[in-house]
Amino acid sequence: MILENYRHIEGIKNDIAEKCGRRGEDIRILPVSKKKTAEDIMELYNAGIKSFGENYVQELLEKKAVLPDDIEWEMIGHLQSNKVRMIAPFIHRIHSVDSLSLADKIDKEAAKCGRRIPVLIEVNAGGEETKFGVGPSDAVSFAMEIVKRPNIRLDGFMTSAPPVDDPSENRDVFAKMKQIMIDTNSKLTDNYKVSVLSMGMSEDFEEAIRQGSTVIRVGTKIFGKRIYQ
C-alpha cells in the first residue's frame, strides 16, 4: 500500500511537471517517515527508494540503527544546536537552518567530521507566528551569511506553507520562495549557486510544483495518517 501510494504521488508529480513545462525528474519526492516504523520505510527501500525525511533527532537515530546504511537521511524538523553533533557524521541534508547560531554549530560539527554538510534555509514564507524560519525579507541576506561558512554547502530554501482550505491560496507563498532563490543567485558568484526549493506537502504539493518546487516532502499521502500519543 505504501509503495502504491508513493507511485500514485509520483504519477501526479510527473503529470503536473509536464503540464507546466518542467521535467518530472527535476522534482524529487522526499517521503516523510516521522512517527512511522522501520518496516514502513523498508517497503519503499526495497523498491529502491533511499531518501527519507525525519523531524526528530532521537527518532531518526533509532531508525537509522536498525535500517540499511545506504539510506540518505534528511533532517526536516526544527533542530536544536545541542543535537547537531549526533547527526553531523551522516546527515545527508538539513532543511531547517533558521539561525546563524545553528549554522555556526553545523559548520563546527561538520569540520570535526571532515564533511561539508548540505543545508537549506527554512523560510517562514507564510509569516505565521507559530512557525520557525527566517522572515522572507531577511532570507537573501541570511543566505549571504550562510555561504561564508566553509563546512556548510547552501543548496537552497525550504518552507512549510500555512494550512489552507484551498492550496491555491498558497500560490503567492510558493512564488515568493522562488523569487528568494532568484534574488540569492543574483548576488552569488558563478561558482556558487543554489537550486533546491523544498516545498509542498501532502495537501499542497501540486501547487508547490507549479511554482517551482524541486523537493516535495510527503508524509500522510504516502504512509497514511500519523498517530500521536
**Residues in the site for ligand PLP, rule: CB under 6 A?**
32, 34, 55, 76-77, 160, 201-203, 217-221
Residue with the closest Cβ to ligand PLP? 219
CA dihedral 132, 134, 136, 141 (to 10 degrees): -170
Nearest-approach distance from CB 221 to ligand PLP, in angstroms: 6
Q: For cell 530554501, name the residue.
A: 157
Nearest-approach distance from CB 57 to ligand PLP, in angstroms: 14
Nearest-approach distance from CB 195 to ligand PLP, in angstroms: 19
Nearest-approach distance from CB 222 to ligand PLP, in angstroms: 8
Q: Which is nearer to ligand PLP, 35 or 178 (CB)?
A: 35
Nearest-approach distance from CB 92 to ligand PLP, in angstroms: 16
Q: Which is nearer to ligand PLP, 138 or 203 (CB)?
A: 203
Q: Which is nearer to ligand PLP, 120 or 146 (CB)?
A: 120
Q: Which is nearer to ligand PLP, 111 or 136 (CB)?
A: 136
Q: Which is nearer to ligand PLP, 129 or 190 (CB)?
A: 129
